[in-house]
Amino acid sequence: MKAAKTIVSVLVILQAGFLGVWKLQHTLDKERAELREERDYVLLSSAKLVKAVSLEYAPLMADFYWTRVVQFYGNKHVRGDANLEELWPLLDITTTLDPNLIVAYRFGAIFLSQRAPGGAGRPDLAVQLLQRGIKANPDYWRLYEDLGFVYYMDMKDYRKAAQAFEEGSKNPKALIWMKVMAAKIAAEGQSFRTSYFLWNDVYTTTTDPQIKENAKWHLQLLQAEEDCRQLDRLADEYEKRFGHRAKRVSELEEAGMLRGPVRDPLGYVYVFDENGKAALNPKSPLVEKQKYQEHFR
């Protein structure tokens, strides 16, 4: 009986001991995590300090910090976390360590300029980053393209967009469409063809799968918007001819105004809404993408 009581007492003591050790370890882990966060913040707020202590290893450290940028953005993007405040300090350090790390300027600008939660929603910082990149790498004309893209797509500043494309076109290595793009934007502002061309260039040149996917659905939505505009024009003509608004797209076919069903980029037939305006088919997956885009405008 005494032996049994002794065993129970030992088990109670051990359990209490394990609980105490667990609590102690949990406290230590929490304190270490807070210390790491504080240390990270100190480093993140002092790009010049990191540059100074890196010495000849600065380019290697730049690669390390660029990896942190990609991981930070990727983790936030997967979780749908719109808090990307640390993105700029990380990019600041990366490009301070290695002013010639082109990928940090190009992809970093996209991460910064996109609306939340896809990006930081800070096109102003994207412009600042790209201007820094241009100053350090004046012969790399693609940075002017990226600058023009941010002005055009995210800031709707068509004058500055045209100027960026025009300045980049002066580089002998720049493709001829840079000058054409400058002229088109200066004359037309925003247009379907210009927007489509720019997003298609992002889609075909990027190597990042997330950016490629983002460009892909932008292209699909642009095409859908243009299709709906064309259908609305036909619907206006139909109303002039017959005195009433078509309720179904098929009525335009029956009137000989369309050769067949008009489908969105995913193959779903367009419809007319209750106001007689062309719209995506409710069954099309692009509807969710459209709502997502409109929510963050």
C-alpha 89/C-alpha 120 separation (Å) is 12
Give pLDDT tens digits for 128-165.
999 999 999 999 999 999 999 999 999 999 999 999 99
Task: Let me know whether 177 and 282 are in one domain.
Answer: no
* 245 pLDDT higher than 90: yes
Q: What is the CATH number of the domain that holds 162?
A: 1.25.40.10
| pLDDT tier, 200 (very low <50, low <70, confident <90, very high otherwise) | very high
Last residue in a domain, options 143, 162, 194: 194
Task: Let me know whether 111 and 216 are in one domain.
Answer: no
The secondary structure of 208-247, three-state, reads: CHHHHHHHHHHHHHHHHHHHHHHHHHHHHHHHHHHCCCCC
Give pLDDT tens digits for 29-39.
554 454 344 34
Task: Let me know whether 174 and 236 are in one domain.
Answer: no
For residue 126, how many C-alpha atoms fall within 13 Å in the half-sphere facing its CB?
28
Dihedral over Cα of 212, 217, 218, 223: its sign = positive
| pLDDT tier, 64 (very low <50, low <70, confident <90, very high otherwise) | confident
Closest Cα to residue 85, out of 59, 122, 49, 34? 122
Task: Let me know whether 184 and 224 are in one domain.
Answer: no
Residue whose token pair is 């993105």:
87
Task: Let me know whether 161 and 221 are in one domain.
Answer: no
| pLDDT tier, 117 (very low <50, low <70, confident <90, very high otherwise) | low
Task: Let me know whether 221 and 254 are in one domain.
Answer: yes
Closest Cα to residue 196, out of 179, 175, 214, 221? 221
The reply to whether 29 falls in a domain is: no
Query: What per-residue confidence (pLDDT) applies to 66?
Result: 84
Task: Let me know whether 148 and 265 are in one domain.
Answer: no
Last residue in a domain, options 160, 194, 228: 194
Residue whose token pair is 């109303």:
239
Q: Which DSSP string corresponds to the chain?
A: -HHHHHHHHHHHHHHHHHHHHHHHHHHHHHHHHHHHHHHHHHHHT-HHHHHHHHGGGHHHHHHHHHHHHHHHHHHHHHHT----TTHHHHHHHHHHH-TT-HHHHHHHHHHHHSPTTTS---HHHHHHHHHHHHHH-TT-THHHHHHHHIIIIIS--HHHHHHHHHHHHTSTTS-THHHHHHHHHHHHSS-HHHHHHHHHHHHHH---HHHHHHHHHHHHHHHHHHHHHHHHHHHHHHHHHHSS--SSHHHHHHTTS-SS--B-TTSPBPEE-TTS-EE--TTSTHHHHHHHHHHT-
Work out how many domains the chain is built from and give that number: 2
The reply to whether 42 falls in a domain is: no
State if pTM tops 0.85. no
Task: Let me know whether 166 and 217 are in one domain.
Answer: no
Closest Cα to residue 142, out of 160, 125, 165, 114? 165
The reply to whether 112 falls in a domain is: yes
Query: What per-residue confidence (pLDDT) applies to 70?
Result: 81
* Containing structural domain, residue 232: 212-295
Contact 233, 252 (CB under 8 A): no
The reply to whether 18 falls in a domain is: no
* 8 pLDDT higher than 60: no
Query: What per-residue confidence (pLDDT) applies to 75?
Result: 67
Task: Let me know whether 73 and 178 are in one domain.
Answer: yes
Task: Let me know whether 132 and 255 are in one domain.
Answer: no
Last residue in a domain, options 194, 224, 255: 194
| pLDDT tier, 77 (very low <50, low <70, confident <90, very high otherwise) | low
Task: Let me know whether 96 and 216 are in one domain.
Answer: no
The reply to whether 132 falls in a domain is: yes
Query: What per-residue confidence (pLDDT) applies to 205?
Result: 87
